[in-house]
Amino acid sequence: MPDIRVAVIDSGVHPDHPHIAADRLLAGVAIASDGTISADDEATLDRLGHGTAVTAAIQEKAPDALILPVRVFHDALKTSARALVTAIAWSIEQGADVINLSLGTVNAAHRDVFADAVARASGAGALIVAAREAEGVPCFPGALDGVLGVGLDWDCPRESWRVEDGVLYASGYPRAIPGVAPRRNLYGISFATAQASGFAARIGSEMIEPGPAALRSALLAATPA
C-alpha cells in the first residue's frame, strides 16, 4: 500500500533539525486565524519549536510515514477554530491517513463545527488523533466520537501505550535531547498525542485497509508489551 500520510497541524517544522527526516516531509501550508491559506517557501518553517518536536516524536515511531506540515501556530501556541477546521479540510484534500492535533479547545461552543470536521475526515478515510481532555475538562475535537482521544500517562514507556475506557494513554515526553533532562525539554499532552499518531501511522502501514474505524479499533484493541 502507499506510504501513510500524517498531517501535523501545529507550528510547522524545521527541516534542518537533527531529529527530523527532511526527505519524508511533503509540501505544506500555513493557515491564518481567519482561514487564509498560504504556501510560500517558508510557510511551514517552525519558529516556535513545538511542531518540530511533535513531528520528531511521530517520525521516531513511524520513520517511513510522509509528513504534511500544517502551520496554524505563528507567534504563539494559539489559533482559532476556523483555522483548525480549515487545516483539517486541507489535510483531507491532501490524502492524509492520520491527522495529528496536539491541541484542542475546551470551549463547547465549537463542538458542532468540530463534529462536522471529524465526520468529513472519517468519510474521507482519515483518523484524527487529538488530546482527550485538559485538566479533567473534555477537549474538542479529542472528546468526540470517531476521534482517537489521547490521555497523558507519565509512567508509560515512550515505546508503548495503554488503553483505558476507550482512551489511549501515552507518555508525555518527546524524543530525548542528549544532555537535556526530560523536564527541561518540551513535554505534556502534546507529545502523548504525537506518540499516538506515530503508533497509528506505524500500525496503519501494516494494515491492508487502514480506514479510520479499523485503525482506531486496532490501536484500542491491544496494548503492546
Cell of 115: 463534529
Judged against a pLDDT cut of 60, whether residue 190 lies above it is answered with yes
Domains and CATH numbers, the chain: 5-221 (3.40.50.200)
Element (H, E) at 201: helix 189-204
DSSP states along 91-134? HHHTT-SEEEES--B--GGGHHHHHHHHHHHHHHT-EEEEE-EE
Q: How much is the mean pLDDT over the chain?
A: 91
Indicate the pLDDT class of residue 186, thresholds 50, 70 and 90: low
Beta bridge partners of 133: 138
Contact 120, 93 (CB under 8 A): no
What pLDDT sits at residue 40?
Answer: 86
Judged against a pLDDT cut of 80, whether residue 212 lies above it is answered with yes
Instruction: Say which DSSP state 38 is in.
Output: E
Give pLDDT tens digits for 73-123.
999 989 999 999 999 999 999 999 999 999 889 999 999 999 999 999 999
How far apart (Å, rounded) are the C-alpha atoms in residues 172 and 57?
10
Judged against a pLDDT cut of 70, whether residue 178 lies above it is answered with no
